[in-house]
Amino acid sequence: QADLAMYKAKGSGRNTLHFFDPQMQKDLQRRVTVEKVLSNSLNNHEFSVYFQPQIKVDNSIEGAEALIRWKSQALGDISPGEFIPIAEESGMIIEIGKWVLHEACSALEEWSSLGIGNDFKLAVNISANQLFSEEFVTDVQSIISQYSINPRQIKLELTESLLVKNISEAKSKMNQLKEFGISFSLDDFGTGYSSLAYLQRLPLDQLKIDQSFVRDLLDDKNDAEIAKTVVALANSLGLAVIAEGVESEMQRDRLVEFGCHSFQGFLYSPAIDREKFKHFLLDSLKKK
Ligand code: C2E
Ligand code: MG
Ligand code: MG
Ligand code: MG
């Protein structure tokens, strides 16, 4: 947690706080603005969900990750990296998260007529506040039930930092959803602090190697070693593994050497809108 250096300006009112650091003050102002604008964004239909393909070692399609996009009328494009933490803090993430899941299910329903098959999985990112909200399990079940899709086609991506907040509640909710058919992937793996003991207690299906280790895989021995270790760890725990942020053939080939057989990244495609993804699907199903 950043240490906010504040002082009371001489002669100003008792409750007037000033920041030493103008950049810090600017950041805070931006946050406040984004939070204010965010509260109308769902009603204004400013969000969309994009999809990034996940590709198997034989180049066939395994599934996709749903990634939210926000075109704000007032502020222009805002990245999820900026607004998701704000939505988490304000509580808006609960409503946004439900909306994303609806969109994901609706897309899956549409694509099922294209012949994607039952083993195609769509991954949806879940924040801590969502998982630990009281209605999470019933919300997810009821949303999925509104579409003609198989719950086995939905995968939820959780992060280590989220899970360690309350491992027993996380475990119990994951188990309930697993019984319903949903699977779980551990996102950004390697960047947190989780121990093997934690991992083994959770009903996970997949580890996702964080893109920070993939980025310098070819030049940085430590990153390569971590990526290799995550693959070995997944294998020994009986989990699937996928690498994110794969941008080049060379990175992919190195990951294949390590035993990784699923990939996501710009090498194949960035996240694209629903219509474009449909065409991506049609092309890749044609090649099959
Ligand atoms: P993430 O779940 O780890 O998603 C991966 C991010 O890496 C995405 O950024 C994706 O566009 C980007 N990416 C994919 N391939 C490459 C590549 O080859 N190179 C590089 N440099 N980047 C790549 P994005 O879409 O900006 O999302 C950022 C983060 O925001 C996500 O990280 C996730 O934590 C969060 N997020 C996105 N959508 C949602 C959502 O619907 N709900 C929640 N709770 N969080 C979301
Ligand atoms: Mg993710
Ligand atoms: Mg990730
Ligand atoms: Mg990430």
Contact 196, 175 (CB under 8 A): no
Q: Give distance in angstroms: CA of 67 to centre of ligand 2.
A: 8
pLDDT at 15: 60
Q: Give distance in angstroms: CA of 75 to centre of ligand 2.
A: 25
For atom 10 of ligand 1, the residue with the nearest CA is: 271
Q: Give distance in angstroms: CA of 88 to centre of ligand 4.
A: 16
* Eight-class DSSP state of 153: G
Q: Give distance in angstroms: CA of 254 to centre of ligand 2.
A: 22
Give yes or no for residue 67 CB within 6 A of ligand 1. yes
156/187 Cα distance (integer angstroms) = 9
pLDDT at 285: 84
| More confident: 70 or 7 | 70
Contact 57, 256 (CB under 8 A): yes
Per-residue pLDDT band for 9 (boundaries 50, 70, 90) equals: very low
List, for residues 28-63, the tens digit of each pLDDT value. Answer: 999 999 999 999 999 999 999 999 999 999 999 999
Q: What are the residues whose beta carbons fall under 8 Å from the beta carbon of 153, sequence distance 6 or more?
A: 63, 108, 118, 120, 121, 122
* Listed residue (162, 161, 159) closest to 132, CA to CA: 162
Supply the pTM of this predicted model: 0.92
Give yes or no for residue 84 CB within 6 A of ligand 1. yes
pLDDT of 277 higher than 90 = yes
Q: What are the residues whose beta carbons fall under 8 Å from the beta carbon of 214, sequence distance 6 or more?
A: 223, 227, 243, 244, 245, 246, 247, 251, 255, 265
> Could you tell which of 125, 160, 207, 216 is best to mutate to test the pocket of ligand 1, judged by most ligand atoms within 8 Å of the CB?
125
pLDDT of 241 higher than 90 = yes
Distances from the Cα of 261 to the Cαs of 24, 138, 251, 252, in angstroms?
43, 33, 12, 9
Longest Cα–Cα distance in the chain? 74
Distances from the Cα of 140 to the Cαs of 59, 100, 129, 151, in angstroms?
31, 11, 14, 10
Give yes or no for residue 154 CB within 6 A of ligand 1. no
Q: Give distance in angstroms: CA of 6 to centre of ligand 2.
A: 36
**What are 217's two structure tokens?**
């895989």
Give yes or no for residue 231 CB within 6 A of ligand 1. no
Give yes or no for residue 242 CB within 6 A of ligand 1. no
By the CB criterion, residues less than 5 angstroms from ion ligand 3 are 187-188, 244
170: number of Cβ within 10 Å: 22
Strands 183-189 and 206-209: parallel
Give yes or no for residue 251 CB within 6 A of ligand 1. no
pLDDT of 218 higher than 90 = yes
Q: What is the residue-wise DSSP string for 33-95?
A: HHHHHHHHHTTTT-EEEEEEEEEETTS-EEEEEEEEEEEETTTEEE-HHHHHHHHHHHSTHHH
* Eight-class DSSP state of 122: E
